[in-house]
Structure 1
Amino acid sequence: MRREANHHRSTRRAVAVGGVLLSTVVLGQVALSGPVAAVPGLLIRTTVGPSNSVAKSQSAVCPAGTTVIGGGGAITGSGLGQVGMDIVQPLADAGLYSVTGREDPNGVTGNWAVTASAICAPTPAGYQVVTGHSAMNSVNPKFLELSCPVGKRAIGGGGAALALGSGSSDVLLEDLRVNLSSVTVAGVEAGNAFADNWSLDVSVICVDPLAGEQRVTVDSVSSSVVDRSVTATCPAGKRLHGVGGEIVGGEGQVRLTELRPTSSTTATVRAATDENGFSGSWKVRAYAVCAT
């Protein structure tokens, strides 16, 4: 996994990526919150997909008249440390946020499900989604930072770790950091042991600066437990607009199992070790982009 010192290894790119990253959208039960303050009409939409043991994608679709400004997802069920959220991406043209889950090469005997959450709102001033991708090669780990146009702020984004020709979760999406005007994505090979080529994709959702904009970052404790979570909460009077998270110190043996808005004011990040366990100390970090 990426260590904190590796922040300096991030690579800046600003190239366009066309097309839709996900080929399958499985809509499940929908929960829709009411409007909250800050960006007018801000709401969170969540969908839960089927529980089984096959690779699957789940999308939360924003209602008509709104667009996606952030979001995330979660894996629930069996074998959490063996199921990777390989893709957590906003698809602005379709007005949705999609999450893909796949098992590691060893597989999982039980069933698991994918949850997708989208933060939706009427299109904010200056709204723009910028996408980019890294080189497809065997370099491990990888880092990719993508910036907003000058004068705009990053309030959300997404990322993907994509292994060439692989049907399993051989590479891990470990970081999705929402910085002031950029998004940084990091990936690592599972167990640092994938021999083929792979790449990273990144999306950054940019808008004009928001009133009372603030980023709240919260770290969990650092130890060698098998499962850990942390929640970042917006200050009183502010609402959640974007979500980010990362694993610190997992060395390719810890997977993100949750990175999503859990209320109109909170962002939760959770991770779990793989079936081999991990004796080193690691922690998770949650980012909440808040505004009034």
Structure 2
Amino acid sequence: MAALGLAGGVQLVSAVPAEAAIGAIQVIAGPLSPTNSEPLKSASANCPPGTQIISGGGWVFVNGRGADADSVVLSQLQPVHSTSGGQDSFVVLGQEMAPGTSSTWWVQAFAVCGQVPGLHVVAGHSALGSQPEQKADALCASSERVLGVGGRIVNPVGKVTLTKVAPLTATTAEVVADEDATGLTSNWQIEAYAVCAPAPAGYQVVANTSSSTANSDPEQVAFVNCPPGTRALGTGAVELSPKPGTGLQVVFPGSPLEVVAVESTPTSLLWGPTLVQGICAT
């Protein structure tokens, strides 16, 4: 993955034969959460009636962008597909990393919505444990493709960050989370989500990195666009060499797709670069 991410627009997954048609796609921006200094904030973006959640994203923003602006990160990026006729949605949670911040901040969710035959959401989870890094995979059927991804830290406590929420293969979504530099003695767990559907025409995953090498910048920003003639279905985010105290702050399904990773706890260690993935189809 690191080698693949060194050049802009690297194709990670080859196109496959068309099996499903995807209609018009909408990116819905949800309302801002309350702006205050509470340690946890959630936000959601709802799909219009008659459409389904394909993917989504979110960001946290610290007002003033002071010295502690990177101490707030994303701890949940979850596609929610209703099986009872309700509206689909994308749910985001932001959290302050210990010891927190006195600055005010907010979180916002984005939902990528459309009509996709055979769409469903699959979840997977890591074992409950106290290891410093945990991984979880969510698997689509071999005849399906990952259209969108998600992940969450179960019961976030301000000591664990998401460092990967991305397609691992065309049929697998993978989530990775890491403890901060001081560690966590109690057990914790993460969940991974894959939005699965029969392969759409022109399916491919492209990627770009924030830089060509690891560095110790407090923020790493990466952008990518889907190739001409294709549309962005989902966004993946990966810290290629995460270090304790680094985490994802922005996963934005706009144009271009954007990922921002930050040092929630300042470190002199080299980390990253940060990779953004675009899940694309015609």
User: Any idea what the Cα deviations from partners look like across 1:129-155, whole Å, max 9, x if unmatched?
Assistant: 111222111122111122101201011
Instruction: State the SS of the aligned residue for 2:78.
Output: strand
* Residue 31 (structure 2) pairs with residue 42 (structure 1): no
Structure 1 distance, partners of 2:280, 2:265, is 36
Q: Choose which of 212, 231, 239 in structure 1 pairs with 2:223.
A: 231
* Residue 93 (structure 2) pairs with residue 110 (structure 1): no
- The AA in structure 2 aligned to 1:99 is V
Equivalent residue, structure 1, for 2:35: 51
Unmatched 5+ stretches in structure 1: 6-37
- The AA in structure 2 aligned to 1:39 is I
1:1-292 correspondence runs (5 A): 39-47=22-30, 48-54=32-38, 55-77=40-62, 78=65, 79-93=68-82, 94-122=87-115, 124-163=116-155, 168-178=157-167, 179-191=169-181, 193-221=183-211, 222-263=214-255, 266-292=256-282
Structure 2 distance, partners of 1:132, 1:40, is 28
Structure 2 distance, partners of 1:144, 1:224, is 27
* 1:109 Cα deviation after fit: 1.3
- The AA in structure 1 aligned to 2:250 is E
RMSD across aligned positions (CA): 1.8
Contact 2:150 2:166 in 1 (8 A): no
* 1:108 Cα deviation after fit: 0.4
Structure 1 distance, partners of 2:111, 2:268, is 32
Structure 2 distance, partners of 1:147, 1:127, is 13
Contact 1:80 1:272 in 2 (8 A): no
Structure 1 distance, partners of 2:37, 2:242, is 25
- The AA in structure 1 aligned to 2:261 is A
* 1:255 Cα deviation after fit: 1.6
Q: Alignment identity in percent? A: 27
* 1:273 Cα deviation after fit: 0.9
TM-score, reference length from structure 1? 0.82
* 1:4 Cα deviation after fit: 5.9
TM-score, reference length from structure 2? 0.84
* 1:275 Cα deviation after fit: 4.0
Equivalent residue, structure 1, for 2:13: none
Unmatched 5+ stretches in structure 2: 4-20
Structure 2 distance, partners of 1:82, 1:72, is 19
- The AA in structure 2 aligned to 1:61 is N
User: Any idea what the Cα deviations from partners look like across 1:15-44, whole Å, max 9, x if unmatched?
Assistant: xxxxxxxxxxxxxxxxxxxxxxx7212110
Structure 2 distance, partners of 1:134, 1:100, is 19
Structure 2 distance, partners of 1:111, 1:88, is 21
Instruction: State the SS of the aligned residue for 1:58.
Output: strand
- The AA in structure 2 aligned to 1:91 is V
* 1:195 Cα deviation after fit: 1.1
Structure 1 distance, partners of 2:204, 2:69, is 32
